[in-house]
Amino acid sequence: MDIQFTPEDLAFRDEVREFIASEHPKDLLGIRYRQHLKREDILAWHQILHQKGWIAPNWPVEYGGTGWTPMQRYIFSEECARAETVTILPFGLNMVGPVIYTFGSPEQKEHFLPKILSAEHWWCQGYSEPEAGSDLASLRTTAVLDGDEYVINGQKTWTTLAQFANWIFVLARTDPEAKPQAGISFFLVDMNTPGVSVRPIKLIDGSYEVNDTFFDNVRVPRENMIGEENQGWTYAKFLLGHERVGIAGVARSKTALGYVRDMAVHELIDGIPLAEEDGFSAKLAEVEIDLTALEFTELRALAAESQGHAPGAEASILKIRGTEIQQRITELAVEAVAHYGFPKEPSEDDTTALEVGPEYAIGAVDNYLQMRKTSIYGGSNEIQRNIIAKMVLGL
């Protein structure tokens, strides 16, 4: 595909750049560690973009999308990454939103889509269970029809930011007799319904981002089921394709790599910048080449999507390479500043934080620990390789 910027693209880039500079809350620009953000911090940029009409670049225009070309979407995400805006959460906009406008009833579209756009509804993802992660189809949460309501019982786990959410999309078994994939349905559940409870799980870096979510006789109106009963697996897989494209995070990785490059310029070994040391500069160059290759792959996927092709197995390629590169960048950062010991970002609730070394060293270890998750969530990278083996290579 042709990826030259046209004059219109450049004008659009300037418009986005100016909008971010003038409208994004100043104190929230350049925050690299989302772990410490509050609910209202995460929502602030979302609401500003919503008012501007720019919150859903990937959606069809009729539901509130921007109508941008793939190149404009790419430019927009590049500019957000470059300025380090607050990350927009994917659960409503990139996950359940596309499921609702593709498979939902007219009433569901009318009710839920505007509330995703405005962030009145904060969605979380109720897929994984303690014994059902990679083997998601073995999930045991049940939904039993009782009159006009389904009664849901079971446990979900790793529910990201459920402590802030007011809605959760849930996969539950509606036919225990059918083969695993055939007996699952997809529900939209109000987190304020009696019987829903959330318990925090502490992560490796000490942050609180994920939860166990319990369903104890939770009654959900029948009209909150997506599509047909027992067809939930189809909708669930469609959603995962959308989830994986966003996970590649090319634009943010470029910014993160820029930080590592800066660190390497300032860090001296025997008076010579680390960036000029053969071994380290070769590693930086290698990541940069991999990232450029991934960027072109993502652009190809975007171009295909704009011609009406839903993300397919290529989403798995983006997920694997994107997350490998994200992790590699955090490893290089730790390699560059590890001699300061264990520099951690200070926070109100973390008394172990040590402010040692220069400012750019702080947070490198937090980020390294945080990013271990990326090769696990959204379907682990081993599972993505299985998908590629089956769907692309036909093995």
Ligand X SMILES: Cc1cc2nc3c(=O)[nH]c(=O)nc-3n(C[C@H](O)[C@H](O)[C@H](O)COP(=O)(O)OP(=O)(O)OC[C@H]3O[C@@H](n4cnc5c(N)ncnc54)[C@H](O)[C@@H]3O)c2cc1C
Q: Mind telling me the catalytic residues?
A: 243
Q: Nearest distance from residue 121's CB to ligand X, in Å?
A: 15
Q: Rule CB under 6 A: which of 156-185 touch ligand X? A: 158-160
For residue 96, what is the DSSP state?
I
Position 340 contacts ligand X (CB under 6 A)? no
Q: Closest Cα partner for 265 from 337, 331, 326?
A: 337
Contact 175, 230 (CB under 8 A): yes
Position 213 contacts ligand X (CB under 6 A)? no
**What tokens does 120 get?**
């009145």
Nearer to ligand X (CB atom), residue 124 or residue 225? 124
Q: Nearest distance from residue 329's CB to ligand X, in Å?
A: 18
Position 377 contacts ligand X (CB under 6 A)? yes
Position 155 contacts ligand X (CB under 6 A)? no
Bridge pairing between strands 208-221 and 196-202:
antiparallel
Contact 245, 237 (CB under 8 A): no
Q: Rule CB under 6 A: which of 33-72 touch ligand X? A: none
Position 90 contacts ligand X (CB under 6 A)? no
Q: Nearest distance from residue 379's CB to ligand X, in Å?
A: 5
Round to whole Å and give the CA distance between 313 and 3.
Answer: 23
- CA–CA–CA angle 240, 296, 329 (5° rounding): 75
DSSP per-residue string spanning 240-269: HHHHHHHHT-HHHHHHHHHHHHHHHHH-EE
**What tokens does 46 get?**
């979302």
Position 380 contacts ligand X (CB under 6 A)? yes
**What tokens does 347 get?**
């926070």
Instruction: Please count the helices (runs of H) and the strands (runs of E) in the chain.
Output: 12, 9
Per-residue mark of binding to ligand X, 272-311 (x: CB under 6 A)? ----------------------------------------
Q: Rule CB under 6 A: which of 100-129 touch ligand X? A: 124-128
Per-residue mark of binding to ligand X, 181-210 (x: CB under 6 A)? -----------------------------x
Q: Which stretch binds ligand X (CB under 6 A): 16-24, 50-58, 178-186, 375-383?
A: 375-383
**What does the binding site for ligand X look like in residue numbers (CB under 6 A)?**
124-128, 133-134, 158-160, 210, 373, 376-377, 379-380, 382-383, 386
